[in-house]
Amino acid sequence: MEEEAAVVEPPRFHFRGGSRLRVFRFGDGRRGAVVFLHGLLSSHRFWEDIARGVAAQGFACYAPDLLGFGESPWPRGEASYAISEHVGAVARDVLAAVERDFGGDLKPPVHVVGHSLGAVVATELAAREKVVASLVTVSLPYYRSQNAARRDARDSCCCCGRKHKSWRGGAVWLVLACPLLAYLLCSLICQQRWFYVMLGRLVDRAARTLLGRRPSFEARFADALNHSYDSVVASYRQCVETHRLDPANLDLPVLVAHGRDDDVVDPACSRDFHADLVDARVDATLVLIDGVNHSCNDNNLAALLGRWFAKDNISSSSSSSTTTTLV
């Protein structure tokens, strides 16, 4: 794994300075470039294992920490996390890195993969940047109205009605319904991240000593806590709740993947997105994966991406109404 040169400033209270996204590169293959975008409360680590697998197939893979997360800048203010800001940052720092690595005259196929919030950013990036050859959305929160977005956040709460109830869904609902309480909790817990990261490191060392394995609690705590209040709340409101994706803006092959047991975003979101893509005459494939929840970064997805990036799959126009189930 190689890191793009960038100055990483230390985090301060709900703020981290800087002007560039932190971008991590896996592999240096010449078959093309794959850009992986993570979701809320996450970082490039979400994609690390899958990116290594795709890189082994001859691709150069790029996984940034999105604006407001991980080691990328955390600007203040809700306007800093508009969809245009997220897309602009990825285009400026990630697509520019692809062009630089492959050489100015070489135009490699660039495939974009996004999970959850990252899938929203990936969709808009694919619509705006013609260099993108294909799009993969994973657990996409696609809503046809703002009320639908709010209803899904409420229903995913562990106290409410969905079959697969989730503490993560409850956290989203808490942030939206009780912003003052959410800010206080973020200030007391997330902004004291050093303590929890240190605790995770101690647990990892103890587990390695006693059990012979290291469960990576340090990395999990770092991912869950490396953000600001604005980056979580404003990104959700600006990119998911109030922003409407327009499938008609896409003119490239699209793979829509979703776990059937998603406990945060209803799989109906991906079914609706696929239906709207088909109505817009976009070459789209829907894959629903059994036994997979919101994270959806298991071996089934890795195998699916490997097939998708095959040249004959992407260039095919016969998959516009395909629905596949992986068990």
Mean pLDDT of all residues in 182-198: 77
Structure confidence by residue, pLDDT tens digits, 26-58:
998 888 999 999 998 899 999 999 999 999 989
Q: In the chain, what are the domain boundaries?
A: 2-326
pLDDT at 16: 76
Of 61, 92, 124, 64, which Cα lies nearest the Cα of 250? 124
Structure confidence by residue, pLDDT tens digits, 260-310:
988 889 999 999 999 999 999 999 999 999 888 888 877 788 888 988 987
Phi, psi (deg, nearest 5) at residue 81? -115, 25
Cα torsion angle, 91, 92, 98, 103, sign: positive
Report pTM.
0.86
∠65-69-73 over CA atoms, to 5°?
85
What is the share, in percent, of the chain residues with pLDDT greater than 90?
46
CB-CB neighbours of 216 under 10 Å: 15
pLDDT band for position 103 (cuts 50, 70, 90): confident
What is the share, in percent, of the chain residues with pLDDT greater than 70?
82
Q: Give the CA dihedral 289, 292, 297, 303, nearest 10 degrees.
A: -30
CA distance 116 to 150: 15
Q: What share of the chain is helix, strand, coil (3-state, %, to 5)?
A: 45, 15, 35
Beta-bridged to residue 37, according to DSSP, are 114
Structure confidence by residue, pLDDT tens digits, 115-127:
999 999 999 999 9
Query: Which fold does the domain 2-326 belong to in CATH?
Result: Rossmann fold (3.40.50)
Residue located via tokens 């869904």: 169
pLDDT at 12: 60
